[in-house]
Chains A and B, each alone.
Chain A
Amino acid sequence: MNIFFHLCWRNLWRHKRRSLIVISSVAVGVFAMISAMGLLNGIMEQMVDNTINTALGHVSIQAKGFQNSLRSEYSFIPAETLYTAIGRTADSQKGYAPRIKLKGMARSSASSRPVIITGIDPTKERSVSHLAEYIIPSTGSFIERADEDTVLISKNMADALELSPGDNIIIMLQNTRGELTAAGLTIKGLFTTPVENFDRHTIFVGLEKLQALAGFGKKISEISLTLKDRNASSAMKTALMLFVQKAGLEVLTWQEMAPNLVRSIAIVDTMMYVSFFIIFITVIFSIANTLVMAIMERFREIGVMKSIGTEPRMIFFMVVFESMLLGITGLVFGIAAGYTAMKLLSIAGIDLSRYAQTLRAMGSGSIIYPSVRAFDVFMATAIVLITTICAAIIPARKAARIEPVKALSYI
């Protein structure tokens, strides 16, 4: 195959400028693709990570039906053996923490708001979420003991309820007997998370305090786990499934808990790829045009090749291969440039503070760290190969059908 490769490769360089135009158009297209996907993927990953770090976790063990209702009847007492089972997966997790989630109301003298009251174990929570880091230092501090008479609310909620750290806030909820209960708690600190929607609704109370208030006893709503690798959630689910099912509980992955997030990533991905395909359709014409010109110039030569016994399909393959070589050369440069650019940008991050409001609504944070997925490199390769093969088909058929007799009388 060596001569054949030389033949095709050297043919590309017979018209350096013409080939370079095609190669650079492929390279620019691939570069744009890798960069756009890298940037977008950075935003998406940060959205996912922030959502997970804020309170979702990668995997949650809970009673069936809890996720969509947050009702107190789906609470459970975690058996020691459950913790043992979780302990066995320690290698792939960062940590786990028990939580309670309840619907309720928060009110001040000025106003009130529906909230999700989340009971947390302050020590364990630090290993699972970034909540402690989201506390604005000037406003106070994280909860220290699980039985404190304190609450953490977001800056957003403090503004809405016209409250400051140290003030009292009234929390109202229904206890397990169905009675409406209220308690006054002191605001220990304010937090801001990157996920705006989360800030609007969530407040945090010590786990034991909430158990007492809501009449939960030793019950909790979920055990949340964070993993070392966000893509290992399904594997973890499988690892825990059997044991958890025996306890009458279920394991949910973050993908199952936040289906909208997964869906929006898929939609954005698809939209991007559709637009790349459209861009590359124009590349098809530019490549096809180059190939047709190249074949017309080599009309006699192809006739000679056929007359000394080259089969038509070999001529066909030669043209397709030359087209692929053009594409692959552009691809290599495009990937290298795109990857390097994204790597460099990911060191410092891209500061998009100007669009902070939008990005907060998306939950990605305002500094974006682009990240190139293997999948995007694979897709770029696939698109380029498909493009170059499609572009070559008509010219290659033309070349394969050249009649030696006509070609030989043509100088």
Chain B
Amino acid sequence: MAIIELNNLIKHYDVNGLSVPAVRGVNLSIGEGEFAAIAGPSGSGKTTILNLIGGLDKPSEGQVIVEGNNLAHLSQKELSDLRLRKIGFVFQAYNLIPVLTALENVEYVLLLQGIRREDRKTRAASILREVGLEAEINRFPRELSGGQQQRVAVARAIVSEPTIVLADEPTANLDQKTGESLIELMHHLNRTKNITFLFSTHDPMVMDRAERLMHIIDGQIISDVRKHTKTPKPASSRKKR
């Protein structure tokens, strides 16, 4: 079953009265539990597509259907709620609220969901343990490395048990090794929790790890390749940090 469906999606931005095309007729269907990457050069439309799927932006034409909901039919509040409960976001950098600790950043999402205090604390702490940040839970973002900050962002994205995580160039600000272990973490979460991951990248290493790779140029998908079939790795081969 397709969890994300894009039908003839078109987006152009209005810049000083000129219409600048960013996405030019994208058709795409992503199934539940996929680990998919959108790759393409700078300015090709990756961020725009992810924003449209997350309901952060409205398409000029075409449809975005998430879990059977046509986003065009949802109110602002329903979109907020969709992002709160169904979709987790990870951005390239500066994802976290700087005045909150790692634990509080993760807890924040649960607060928005109206979850009781004790439950919030235990759930946030256990997710942070899962992403390998047990020792850092009380640190503020500025006291964490870039890779650790991204792990907190991943923890925050999955703590609400969403069905989809959208990650816009999550490794772009990280060195090779740190980026690799972040992708491994996401892949692990994808398999163990059956969360659908869709991320953008222009990092060959990340493309290599994706199970499905779509290439986009000038707002159009030019290739769409399914590479691996799912073969669960033994947990011991998983690297942390």
Hey, which bits of chain A sit against chain B, CB under 8 A?
2-4, 6-7, 10-11, 14, 300-301, 304-312, 314, 404-405, 408-409, 411
Contact = CB atoms under 8 A, between A and B. Distances in A.
B109 A309 contact: yes
B80 interface: yes
Interface of B: 47, 51, 54, 56-57, 76-77, 80-81, 83-85, 88-89, 91, 93-100, 104, 107-109, 111-112, 117, 156-157
A307 B111 contact: no
A309 B80 contact: yes
Contact of B76 (A305, A308, A312, A411): A312
Nearest to B95: A304
Contact of B80 (A300, A311, A405): A311
A220 B109 CA distance: 79
* Consensus secondary structure, chain B interface: helix
Contacts of B56: 307, 404-405, 408
A149 B76 CA distance: 92
A236 to B, nearest CB: 52
B77 A311 contact: yes
Nearest to B85: A309
A411 B84 CA distance: 23
Nearest to A312: B76
B225 to A, nearest CB: 28
Contacts of A409: 47
Nearest to B87: A309
A405 B52 CA distance: 10
Nearest to A9: B99
Contacts of A305: 97
B84 A309 contact: yes
B111 A4 contact: yes
A388 to B, nearest CB: 20
B80 A3 contact: no
Nearest to A404: B56
Contact of B89 (A3, A4, A10, A308): A308
Nearest to A302: B97
Contact of B94 (A2, A10, A304, A405): A304
A225 B91 CA distance: 78
A3 B94 contact: no
Contacts of B91: 304, 307, 408
A307 B94 contact: no
Nearest to B99: A10
A283 B56 CA distance: 37
Nearest first, the 6 closest Cβ-Cβ pairs linking A and B are: A309-B84, A10-B99, A309-B83, A404-B56, A405-B57, A311-B80
Given A6-B100, A308-B156, 11 more contacts: A2-B117, A3-B100, A6-B99, A304-B95, A308-B84, A308-B88, A309-B80, A309-B83, A311-B112, A314-B112, A408-B91
Given A7-B100, A404-B56, A405-B51, A310 B95 contact: no
A314 B97 CA distance: 15
B51 A3 contact: no
Contact of B108 (A3, A11, A306): A3
B107 A3 contact: yes
Contacts of B95: 304
A213 B77 CA distance: 89
B98 A307 contact: no
7 contacts: A6-B104, A7-B104, A304-B91, A308-B109, A314-B112, A404-B56, A411-B94
Most buried by B among A3, A10, A307, A311: A3
Nearest to B54: A307
Contacts of A306: 80
B98 A301 contact: yes
Contact of B93 (A4, A314, A411): A411
B85 A7 contact: no
Nearest to B103: A3
A3 B104 CA distance: 7
B49 to A, nearest CB: 12
B81 A301 contact: no
B97 A7 contact: yes
Contacts of B109: 308-309
Contacts of B93: 411
Contact of A309 (B96, B98, B112): B112
A404 B99 CA distance: 19
Contacts of A10: 99-100
Contacts of A14: 98-99
A4 to B, nearest CB: 7
Contacts of A4: 111
A107 B179 CA distance: 108
A304 B112 CA distance: 14
Contacts of B104: 3, 6-7
Contacts of B51: 404-405, 408
Nearest to B140: A10
Contacts of B157: 308
Most buried by A among B77, B97, B100, B104: B97
A234 B100 CA distance: 55
A310 B99 contact: no
